Amino acid sequence: MSGHSKWHSIRHKKGANDAARGKIFTKHANLVTIAARSGGDPDSNPALRLAIENAKKENTPNKNIERAIKKGTGEDKSAAALVEATFEGYGPDGIAMLVETLSDNRNRTVTGVRVAFSKNGGNLGENGSVAWMFHRKGVIEIVLENTAPDSEKIEELEMLAIENDAEDVIISTDENNTEIEIICDAKNVFALQELLNSSGYEASAKVSMVAENMIKVETTEHARKIFRLIEALEDHDDIIAVHSNADISNEIMEEILAE
């Protein structure tokens, strides 16, 4: 999972214009719509509560969120029917890619996904070609500023997560900061996030498809190729999430961020 959160830092750095923000709002609205299909009350629907929380962190307007909830619950009768679909394929140098979409026009979506892969060194695969590598998990991210990875605070956080059913705790260093990524059962992610926040940590959470076997990306140029494909896919409004099994070091990520 190393490097996943920094990809979003690159996206923010490169895409701070109005058009890019509009795409971010659209993607968060689609995620809210999907979550709202299980109920429009965030107090009784943790997935919706999490989607709303993440949308607000990206400054998605409240009216967009409210409209997305109505689409998901079916209250908005004028909204076009949206269908979820997942596409599988391979990126540069055989990196496995899983692409989640939400669309009212499957032909448009298929064309957009196929073009993004073909123009950026990737290949669409058959159903089942890579999906078996990924599992839906809860992912919690915490950044501790000016904290060494061997500090007692890190050890205490790791023990707290493990004692509350975390499946994995990944620790990496970024300049003077330490980043912690906690993997857990998707059903428990919101409860674990609340526990960590109440314990004094600032934890962000999401539900994501996590690869069971990662492939280490050895060079900056290889990482750039992967990012170009991810960026091409994420620029399509129908695509709500792109997952891969690329393991990118902080050093390579920092080099790309500095460009």
pLDDT tens across 93-112, in order? 899 999 999 888 999 999 99
**Which pLDDT value is given to residue 129?**
94
Q: Is the pLDDT of residue 75 over 50?
A: yes
Structural domains for the chain: 4-73 (1.10.10.200), 83-133+213-257 (3.30.70.980), 135-211 (3.30.70.120)
- List Cβ neighbours of 247 (8 Å cut-off, separation of 6 or more): 1, 2, 3, 214, 215, 216, 217
User: 172: closest CA among 248, 245, 255, 242?
Assistant: 248
- Asked whether the beta carbons of 189 and 138 are under 8 A apart, the reply is yes
Mean pLDDT of 28-46: 90
Q: Would you say residue 21 has pLDDT above 70?
A: no
Q: Are 146 and 177 in contact (CB under 8 A)?
A: yes
Q: Is the pLDDT of residue 166 over 80?
A: yes
What's the pLDDT tens digit per position in 111-125? 999 999 999 999 999
Q: How far apart are CA 23 and CA 211, in angstroms?
A: 26
Model pLDDT, residue 152 = 85
Q: Assess whether pLDDT exceeds 60 at residue 63.
A: yes
- pLDDT at residue 252 in the model: 85
Nearest to 146 by CA among 181, 178, 180, 179: 178
Return d(Cα 226, Cα 36) in angstroms, integer: 32
User: In the structure, what pLDDT confidence band is assigned to residue 77 with cuts at 50, 70 and 90?
Assistant: confident
Q: Which of 32-36, 172-176, 222-226 has the lowest mean pLDDT?
A: 172-176
Rounded to an integer, the average pLDDT of 203-225 is 90
2 has pLDDT over 50:
no
Give buried/exposed letters for 190-227 (b at 16+ CB in 10 A, else e).
Answer: bbbbebbeeeebebbbbbbbbbeebbebeebebbebbb
Alpha helices in 78-146 (DSSP H): 106-119
